[in-house]
């Protein structure tokens, strides 16, 4: 919890700034709309957190989201009865992509940066090839309900977000979480003390793939079919995690802080938008955040915590 405090403070400041610029933000409807908009990124950040805290990267989530949305549209093709089977298929695809990422990273010893970058290119190329640049088909109303509709005034995506967040926090408190952090902190030590390092990492990648599938269902539901839906999301997710104080290279940081980082990033985007700053700047902002957060970690960590050579530098 202690590590979550700084990012929560930043988040509060940003939310206050938004509220000043747009008083409607404080009304339940306005705030729920913000939560709904942030939900996909927060879920992706939770997934990315598992991978990063285990000492790896997952760059494939953005194009996985795009692929999932495009596949869903093509397979559902407006037919409501196909909704649930396709959702099940999307989740399987997400887990499968994570499995491949994890197995190649751990068993074949290819750095995850390369594996998932390759997966990003493979998926985006495959989507382009399959669709020819113009996605076909349509999502059913039932599918879109997860991103558009709600239970009374509360959007479904907010409820799904709560469930995912609770599950992520529970996972990190369970043995799995401790194993994962130990793996990211010092892989060799963890392995020598009996942790099944490879298994932990593979599961982390599968969780990230699962998060991408859920995010895809929410994003596709929110705004419909698009071949650009996932563009840049991998960087937003990594930025969010880093912003939450999670150390690139693994071993430190909480999943709650990572999710708070995603909320903060989304709040920052909202604020930029409110002040009419072009969307192109979002990339710049993310770049500055990643560099600054890693640099700040490298500067402060040795003084605040037990000095541990290497792990902060491993990130850069």
Q: Decide: 262 and 237 in contact? Cβ < 8 Å.
A: yes
Cα–Cα separations (whole angstroms), residue 152 to 32, 80, 118, 158, 221: 12, 22, 42, 12, 17
Residues from 162 through 221 that contact other proteins (CB under 8 A): 219
d(CA 106, CA 198): 6
33 near other proteins (CB under 8 A):
yes
Task: Compute the Cα dihedral for 48, 118, 309, 9 and give only its sign.
Answer: negative
Contact set for other proteins, span 37-56 (CB under 8 A): 37
**283 lies in the binding site for other proteins (CB under 8 A):** yes
Give whichever of 279 and 307 is closer to other proteins, judged by the CB atom. 279
Size of the site for other proteins (CB under 8 A): 41
Cβ pair 82, 75 in contact under 8 A: yes
Residue number, 205 or 269, with CB nearest to other proteins: 269
Identify which of residues 193 and 278 has a Cβ nearer to other proteins in the complex. Answer: 278
Q: Which stretch binds other proteins (CB under 8 A): 91-99, 102-110, 162-170, 283-291?
A: 283-291
d(CA 49, CA 55): 10
Q: Cβ 125 to other proteins, closest distance in Å? A: 12
User: Which residue among 273, 285, 301, 308 contacts other proteins (CB under 8 A)?
Assistant: 273
Smallest separation, CB 280 to other proteins (Å): 6
| Cα-Cα-Cα-Cα dihedral sign, residues 232, 237, 243, 249 | negative
Q: Tell me whether residue 6 or residue 287 sits nearer to other proteins (CB atom).
A: 287
| DSSP assigned state of 59 | -
* Cβ within 8 Å of residue 112, ≥6 positions away: 51, 56, 57, 58, 101, 105, 205
How does DSSP classify residue 247?
Answer: P
Binding mask 215-234 for other proteins (x = CB under 8 A): ----x--xxxxx-xx-xx--
Give contact residues for other proteins (rule: CB under 8 A): 22, 24-25, 29-30, 33, 37, 117, 128, 132-138, 148, 219, 222-226, 228-229, 231-232, 235, 238, 270, 273-274, 276, 278-280, 283, 286-287, 290-291
């Amino acid at each position: 919890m202690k590590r979550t405090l700084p990012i929560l403070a930043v988040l509060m400041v940003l939310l206050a700034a938004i509220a000043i610029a747009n008083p409607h933000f404080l009304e339940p409807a306005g705030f729920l709309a913000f939560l709904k908009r942030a939900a996909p990124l927060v879920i992706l950040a939770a997934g990315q957190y598992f991978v990063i805290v285990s000492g790896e990267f997952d760059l494939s989530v953005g194009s996985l989201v795009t692929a999932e949305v495009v596949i869903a549209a093509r397979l559902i093709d407006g037919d409501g009865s196909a909704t649930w089977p396709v959702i099940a298929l999307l989740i399987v695809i997400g887990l499968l992509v994570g499995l491949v990422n994890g197995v190649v990273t751990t068993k074949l010893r290819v750095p995850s940066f390369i594996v998932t970058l390759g997966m990003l290119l493979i998926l985006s190329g495959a989507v382009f090839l399959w669709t020819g640049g113009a996605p076909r088909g349509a999502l059913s109303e039932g599918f879109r309900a997860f991103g558009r509709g709600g239970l009374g005034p509360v959007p479904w995506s907010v409820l799904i977000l709560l469930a995912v967040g609770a599950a992520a926090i529970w996972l990190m408190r369970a043995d799995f979480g401790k194993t994962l952090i130990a793996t990211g902190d010092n892989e060799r030590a963890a392995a020598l003390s009996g942790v099944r390092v490879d298994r932990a990492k593979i599961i982390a990648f599968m969780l990230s793939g699962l998060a991408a599938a859920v995010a895809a269902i929410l994003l596709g539901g929110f705004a419909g079919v698009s071949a650009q839906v996932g563009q840049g999301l991998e960087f937003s997710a990594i930025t969010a995690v880093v912003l939450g104080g999670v150390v690139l290279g693994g071993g430190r940081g909480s999943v709650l802080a990572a999710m708070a980082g995603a909320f903060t990033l989304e709040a920052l985007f909202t604020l930029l938008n409110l002040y009419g700053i072009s969307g192109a700047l979002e990339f710049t902002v993310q770049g500055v955040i990643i560099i600054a957060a890693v640099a700040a970690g490298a500067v402060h960590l040795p003084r605040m915590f037990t000095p541990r050579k290497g792990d902060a530098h491993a990130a850069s």
